[in-house]
Amino acid sequence: MALAACIWALTCEEEKALDQITEAGFSHIDIRPSWLQSDALQKQACDLGLTISCMAASADMPEGASLTGEGSQVGRDHVFKALEHGAALGAKVAYLVPEGDDLDRYAEPLPILADKAQELGMKLCVEHFPGTILPTVPFTLDYLAKIGHPNLYLVFDIGHAQMANENPAEMITLAGNRLGYVHLDDNDGVNDLHLGLYDGVMQEDDLKAMFVALDELGYGSNVSLELKPDIPNPLDALKRSREIARLFV
């Protein structure tokens, strides 16, 4: 298990962001489809020793595109290209954020996308997200079970669990072998703020218990700090959060 950072927390030029994230002590990063598109940027990441851990495949959608609406084919093509880009860079995991208001329509493309990810040697995950059609961990796990595709997994986000009043360790255990990836972030228990660890309501005991549950599960993927770029000094928050997470990873 390695500790990664979602590099989109840094809004400076990509070249500078890659340098900054390396100087902050990270060797693994998560990217969005628009990142590392040029040979020069890919070489820089390689020269810095950065490993691409995960691709946020549904991010950076073109205007009007989606997986469920009128632009569904454009949305699916976008995710296909994101998966191919991530796989070419070595990512072993990709994930989607739930969208729309129709569970059946959202389910339609998931097996097709999961097949594509599997062909590329990647796990495809879906994130639970309060306020969306997949608001809790149990609901999302039931939803994935009904779809029944062997390459559909859960992204567990501890900040989202805080918003839904879910116990992180219990949710990890509940996910079992459907757990594909883990996001670390903090908030005020109500809003999706993606603060640095311990900058919100997160308690050390809960974070520690979550990692114990991961160990007991035999979890084999990485965990990633997903902070937002609009928080105060995201680079500093990433550095502080890394020092906290390193106690458990």
**Most distant CA pair in the chain, distance:** 47
Residue 29, amino acid:
I
Report d(CA 163, CA 158) in Å as an integer. Answer: 9
CATH of the domain at 187: 3.20.20.150
pLDDT band of 71, cuts 50, 70, 90: low
Cβ atoms 144, 126 nearer than 8 A: yes
Cβ atoms 157, 183 nearer than 8 A: yes
Structural domain count, the chain: 1
**Residue for token pair 């879910």:** 166
DSSP 105-152: HHHTTHHHHHHHHHHTT-EEEEE--TTSSS-SHHHHHHHHHHH--TTE
Report d(CA 200, CA 89) in Å as an integer. Answer: 34
Determine the average pLDDT of the residues in 154-171: 98
Buried b (16+ CB within 10 A) or exposed e, 154-183: bbbbbbbbbbbebebbebbebbeebbbbbb
Q: What is the pLDDT of residues 108-151, one digit of tens each?
A: 999 999 999 999 999 999 999 999 999 999 999 999 999 999 99
Domain that holds residue 236: 3-245
Q: What is the pLDDT of residues 204-246, one digit of tens each?
A: 999 999 999 999 999 999 999 999 999 999 999 999 999 999 9
Q: What's the whole-model pTM score?
A: 0.96
Determine the average pLDDT of the residues in 161-166: 98
pLDDT of residue 72: 86
